[in-house]
Chains A and B, each alone.
Chain A
Amino acid sequence: MTTSDPKGSAEPTEIEVVSTDSELRIGVFPCMCGKNIGAVVDIEAVAEYSKTLPGVVLVQVNRYTCADPGQREIEEAIKEHGLNRVVVASCSPTMHEDTFRKAVKAAGLNPYLCIMANIREHVSWVHRDNPEAATQKAKDLVAMSVAKAATLEAQKELDVPVTQAALVVGAGVAGMQAALDLADSGFKVNLVEKQPTIGGIMAILDKVFPQNDCSICILGPKMVDVAKHPNINLITMAEVETISGYVGNFDVRVKQRARYVDIDKCTACGDCVEVCPVDVPSRTDQNLTWQKAIQIPFPQAVPSSYFIDQDTCLGMDLIRCGKCIDRCEQEAIVSSDTARYIDFEVGVIILATGFNPASPEKIPRLGWGRYPNVITSLEFERLINAAGPTEGKLVRPSDLTKPHSVAIAQCVGSRNIDTRMNCSNFCCAESVKCALLIKEHYPDTEVTIYYQDLRMHGKYFEEQYLKAREEGVKFVRGRVGEIQQYPKTKNLRVSVEDTTHNRLEMLDFDMVILSMGAEGQSGNFPIPISCTSDSFYIESHPKLRPVDTSSAGVFICGGAESPKDIRDSVIQASAAAGRAAIILQKGRYPIEALSARIMQDKCNRCGTCEKRCPYGAISQDGTGKFTVTGALCQACGTCAGDCPQDAIYMPNFTNEQIEAQIQIALAENPEDKIVAFACNYCSYRGSDLAGVSRMQYPTNARVIRSICSGRYSTKFAQKAFELGAGAVLYSGCHLPADCHFQTGNHWMAKREPRIRGWMKRNNIDDERFRVEWVSASEGKKWQTIMTEMAEVTERFKKSKPKPKKPSAKPKKKTEPKTKAKPKKKTATKPTKATKAKSSTKKSTTKKKGGK
């Protein structure tokens, strides 16, 4: 596991305050926004009210605050009046927060001391028919922002240096391409490969689709490029053992196995092979023939050197064997070779570890492994390969005769509940290629392809399929049920239904080729990168960030991400190299200014936060202390949402600030109010869209924005209800996968049962709390929710006894009524409960002791 090396991310227990002013000097800037706000909201009234708020020293109304003059006015006001906090009451922060922050920064004030109150999208545009209530709501929202501003702290915008080197794991065609792209861009690349040679699966194929050009012939030159590139440090027979650090600053330790041959001295002459007494099944030739214990994977191997398989070698001393040592004229054999560690630093990592060809051993009904004339597509590639065990002659393994009829079976091991549910992408094209190759060498041999769906999805694929049909290859739609072997001839009987004709076919074939699919083998890497259930790496976003991972600085490409052919592997490798190069060439990586900080004096080291973070940004060091690595933190606040000790400080979204906002919101007539939490990327933008679309709804809601719904602690809802809120809404991005911070919405959903349990114990009607999923495009949904929840507050108001006289000023923080707070997570039911709750809004339970 990683230990964080906080170069440049401080972990203070005291929160640094950049402003040394002891006095709060808040400036409030209400905006008329032309008629957009001014026509509905009485801006002057809001301005007057703002003057009465604690800490406010200046209130200045503008017609168009975001325009140049408006911005300059803010800058001047800051300088002239020594403002140290700024609240702009205008449009949505998603619109202009950056704009105003730039202005504030220009005036010499820390940009994180400027926040906004949304009185346009959330007020004037949606409460046109009720200007009075709209104005009151605007006042409340400004008061909430002012209360939040009181405890804002200046935040540093730091960045960390990026080591100008990369690690590429895996040197198949994808890894090679990524390494070459980065090396050509001028960066140093450490290319680590598990096998003794680079080239991966592509190096052992015969001809490749769709041009059917010779695989090793096109790969060979690339392999030589890798070998010769001055910027590439090639480490073969090695695996990554440990990685510590974070983006820009990874410390990598690689373990390299002993080769027992000096690659600088070995000339690949092959003399040693003549004297080695040990026969080993050939990995390159798919166990169809033998190699010696001292071997070179194939002639074009890079590095161009032999190696000794230490598991099968008899022993490199004169007593046990050592014949190769005698024979080698170059004296290249190093019997004293040992495994070694190689350490280096990199700024980015690209994972290109490929997939595993799926062995049909798991599907005994197809007979591979039991019947010699049933072979896999990779075994076929070696047989038909001129460099293979039969020098390119396709023969039946049982009797070495030429097959007159060949069947090719598709979907072997893929699209199968017992092995892999997913399609393996390349096998359909591969089978058409195999058929074409057979026909090219042996025009008289009959070839039949048994398929379920023939996926000729790639460029140039369709015409190859046509060519195959024209050459007489038979295509039968039906997935092979079983293959049986005739005891004497070792011919095969293939049972398959020709589904186009509803006819059972039990036909004899000399040979059957099983189209091998791809099995995932991703994972098991020193940095935990999430994988799918079938062991392929998970990308950060399937459409918009398909080569990034949720670990900053780590990229994926090729077969390790999902099964694909050579062209797509190369494309994705270049994509990953491009993405990695962005970080490298910038030279510095920004740390999220609002990243979480753990307050060590409050922390009880329960470790919950570490489990919540999807970015691996929280880790425990050797002394047991938990710290946040700023460079990895995305400030979602999910950790803070579940911290039982409230020991996590989320700048600009602290517990204190949020609770202050709740208090202000519920200061008057709390039973009328809906305290609505909305996450920045989805729900808040959805609520903004309702405003942009001028959808009207009642004025009850007081929205509190957070970056992610993972931030919403159970305590916020509890506090709101304790203060008498009519209703509370927790709104986030849609499950299961829309959360912009991976899993924030899931953790929020898990808190719902605990909140409802607490509500039940305190006789609070279920319908007063809602958990909703609103996306940025669901303005209408927001409107509906606001309307429905307003009705809930109406019902609540009618059912409760007359409220006490409302207090004019915001109440001081009262001690919350102590209820047993669940320390452990109680067993939670999955989100089905959520959906059920939202649809049963109409069912009210009569309150005990009713009217």
Chain B
Amino acid sequence: MKYAFFPGCTMANRLQFAEKSVRMVVPEFGIELVDLAFTCCPEPNAVRSLSEDTWVTFAARNIALAESEGLDILTACAGCHESLTLAKHELDTKSELKDKVNGILKGMGLEYKGTSSIIHVHQLLFDEIGLETISSKVTRPVPIKVVTHSGCHLLRPQKIMKVDDAEAPVKLDLLCEALGMESLEYMDKVMCCGAGVRKADNETSYAILKEKMTSIMMVEPDAMVVFCPTCYITFESGQRITNRLFETDFKLPVFYYTELLAIAIGLPDTDKLLADHRVKIELPEPVEAKSDKSESIPI
């Protein structure tokens, strides 16, 4: 199965190891990635706030590019996923808008038709590949306690994104459990990390992060797992800023899911991925060689 890969500029230029983990993992499941000349998705908050027309046109251009190659798009960032999915929804439901945008795209030899679908690595792993296949490939389980943060832009608005239940998401937890982790429930699980307001008001953004981290630390996890590079950066680096601003002491390691997947299915050179983490963690050896196949939903 071939996809047009859309890492997004944050992942490509700031979280390269996360991109690497995706590229390492997907061939193991028979997926081939193609790189196209995408622009920024564009960022659903910053660019859309300046001009909706600009936002939807950039998104249409990116989708049209994939369509011209006959490929669906695989996103790895929640922001990109939301941006492209919402734009597609707008274009598919408002024919006047579609015509207007195609008028602009015509000038660059592209046309938005609506034939390509947009899928995030989360959906690829859970919906397409499936927990059973993933568990069956696990050779080195990762027995740590984690909390998951699916991210605002992967979950909402649920009616359009259709990734998971927006109020009680479980899929990322199940994906973690398939790798031998114990996923803990915690308060404010679906709360935003605060990234969206950082450009407008720095302190407010970190105040939000502080609230989120406080709730997370209540359950004492070993690490947290995300599926978006912006969330990753916010949690990992943001913790330090929060500590500085509010005299807290957060130091929770963060993982982008496919890193752990790469480790669990025994791919080589995963140390290189972890080397770039700012908050390090020593991953414990599994107690038994067998992988833990429990699929219970944590209470």
Residues of A whose CB lies within 8 Å of any CB of B are: 364-365, 370, 482, 484-487, 493
Contact = CB atoms under 8 A, between A and B. Distances in A.
A487 B185 contact: yes
A482 B215 CA distance: 15
Interface residues of B: mostly helix, strand, loop or mixed?
loop
A143 B186 CA distance: 86
Contact of B168 (A364, A486, A493): A364
A508 to B, nearest CB: 11
B188 A484 contact: yes
B168 A487 contact: no
B187 A493 contact: yes
20 contacts: A364-B165, A364-B167, A364-B168, A365-B167, A370-B168, A370-B299, A482-B167, A484-B187, A484-B188, A484-B215, A485-B187, A486-B187, A486-B218, A487-B184, A487-B185, A487-B186, A487-B187, A487-B218, A487-B219, A493-B187
B268 to A, nearest CB: 38
A505 to B, nearest CB: 15
Contacts of B187: 484-487, 493
Interface string B163-184: 0010110000000000000001
A486 B188 CA distance: 10
| Chain A to chain B: the 9 pairs with minimum beta-carbon distance, closest first | A364-B167, A484-B187, A365-B167, A364-B168, A487-B219, A487-B218, A484-B188, A364-B165, A493-B187
A485 B186 CA distance: 8
Interface in B181-217: 184-188, 215
A833 to B, nearest CB: 21
A231 B243 CA distance: 79
A370 B167 CA distance: 12
Nearest to B189: A484
Contacts of A484: 187-188, 215
Contacts of A493: 187
Interface in B216-243: 218-219
Nearest to A369: B168
Interface string B148-165: 000000000000000001
A487 B184 CA distance: 10
Interface of B: 165, 167-168, 184-188, 215, 218-219, 299
Contacts of B185: 487
A411 B120 CA distance: 36
A485 B184 CA distance: 13
Contacts, number: 20
Contacts of B219: 487
A482 B167 CA distance: 9
A365 B167 CA distance: 6
A726 B29 CA distance: 76
Contacts of B218: 486-487
Contacts of B299: 370
Contacts of B186: 487
A486 B215 CA distance: 9
A70 B185 CA distance: 90
A487 B298 CA distance: 12
Nearest to A418: B159
Nearest to B297: A370
Contacts of A487: 184-187, 218-219
B208 to A, nearest CB: 13
B71 to A, nearest CB: 35
Contacts of A485: 187
A366 to B, nearest CB: 9
Nearest to A495: B188
Nearest to A372: B299
A760 B187 CA distance: 66
A370 B165 CA distance: 14
The CB with the most chain B CB atoms within 10 A, among A370, A486, A487, is that of A487
A111 B178 CA distance: 85
Contacts of B165: 364
Contacts of A364: 165, 167-168
A486 B219 CA distance: 9
A484 B188 CA distance: 7
A367 to B, nearest CB: 9
A362 B12 CA distance: 39
Contacts of B168: 364, 370
Given A485-B187, A487-B186, A493-B187, 11 more contacts: A364-B165, A364-B167, A365-B167, A370-B168, A370-B299, A482-B167, A484-B187, A486-B187, A487-B185, A487-B187, A487-B218
A106 to B, nearest CB: 68
User: Which of B184, B219, B299 neighbours the largest number of chain A CB atoms within 10 Å of its CB?
Assistant: B299
A568 B187 CA distance: 42
Contacts of A370: 168, 299
Question: Which of A370, A482, A484, A493 has the most chain B CB atoms inside 10 A of its CB?
Answer: A484
A836 to B, nearest CB: 20
B194 to A, nearest CB: 16
Nearest to B185: A487
A166 to B, nearest CB: 46
A493 B186 CA distance: 12
Nearest to A366: B167
A484 B187 CA distance: 6
Contacts of A365: 167
A364 B167 CA distance: 6
A485 B219 CA distance: 12
A23 B165 CA distance: 80
Nearest to A482: B167
B191 to A, nearest CB: 9
A360 to B, nearest CB: 12
B158 to A, nearest CB: 10
Nearest to A365: B167
A499 B110 CA distance: 50
Nearest to A485: B187
A364 B184 CA distance: 18
A304 to B, nearest CB: 41
B297 to A, nearest CB: 10
A365 B156 CA distance: 14
A356 B112 CA distance: 47
A357 to B, nearest CB: 21
A493 B189 CA distance: 13
Nearest to B188: A484
A386 to B, nearest CB: 32
Nearest to A488: B218
A482 B187 CA distance: 11
B42 to A, nearest CB: 30
A462 to B, nearest CB: 36
A484 B165 CA distance: 16
A700 B185 CA distance: 79
A805 B273 CA distance: 100
A130 to B, nearest CB: 53
Nearest to A506: B211
Contacts of B167: 364-365, 482
Nearest to B219: A487
A369 to B, nearest CB: 10
B207 to A, nearest CB: 13
A419 to B, nearest CB: 13
A493 B191 CA distance: 14
A503 B141 CA distance: 47
A115 B207 CA distance: 84
Nearest to B159: A418
B155 to A, nearest CB: 12
Nearest to A486: B187
B218 to A, nearest CB: 6
A383 B188 CA distance: 30
Nearest to A487: B219
A582 B219 CA distance: 68
Contacts of A486: 187, 218
Contacts of B184: 487
Contacts of A482: 167
B173 to A, nearest CB: 13
A484 B219 CA distance: 14
